[in-house]
Amino acid sequence: MRKDVRIGVPTERATRKGRAFGLRDVLVTLGIALLIVGVVFAFNRSKGLKEGSFVSANVLAGGLAAGPAPTLGKAAPDFEVPLLNGETFRLNEHRGHVVWINFWATWCPPCRAEMPDIEQVWRSEQGSDLVIVAVDYAETTAKVQAFVDKLGLTFPIALDRDGQVGTQYRLAGFPSHFFVDRQGILREVRVGLLSEATMRATLQKLRSY
């Protein structure tokens, strides 16, 4: 007994349904693509940080501050810290030089962003009266060394292992910059990322005192 064979023909409703699924797939794919772009942007946005960007220093590891707070127009508080190369830096030993003190940390995006510019200024100032000391805040020697090696930094890096110097200087955020003239007087305090142009302009002003 022969059975009739029916060949299905897509109805208008089925066609619309198929088109809807196709559009939905496109929208889902587009959404995923936009999400990926967003994640990539968020990951890389530290490269585009603006001048003045900083990370708040809400909690300092050094405990209660001891001694007078840094005050513009007065002698910068003296301190002594070990350098990454095994030597020691003491501020008061650098009278007769202009001194740029930079407080930073490897976990701070604005700090990382400005390091190449600090390096550029340092290299161009070799043999001048400029002393730079970049004081890392309360991190391990190994972590700081790895960061310095990765970026190829050559200016002096100091280690504020217990955070006492940062606390002494009443840091409001990272990075923080303190500019001291040849007589040991604190002349400029800047909180946040500095552009190379601002760095050079500040040093020029510092030399006018």
Q: Structurally, what CATH architecture does the domain formed by 55-206 represent?
A: 3-Layer(aba) Sandwich (3.40)
pLDDT of residue 71: 97
Q: What pLDDT was estimated at residue 84?
A: 97
Beta strands in the chain (DSSP E): 55-56, 80-82, 88-90, 98-104, 130-137, 157-160, 173-174, 176-180, 186-191
pTM of full prediction above 0.85? no
Give the pLDDT confidence of 2-13 residue by residue, as tens digits.
444 444 445 555
DSSP string, 126-172: TTSSEEEEEEEES--HHHHHHHHHHHT--S-EEEETTSHHHHHTT--
Q: How far is CA 157 from the centre of its chain?
A: 15
Rg for the chain (alpha carbons), in Å?
28
Per-residue pLDDT of 113-162, as tens digits, reads: 999 999 999 999 999 999 999 999 999 999 999 999 999 999 999 999 99
pLDDT in tens, 21-53: 454 553 333 343 333 233 233 333 345 789 989
Q: Are 160 and 136 in contact (CB under 8 A)?
A: yes
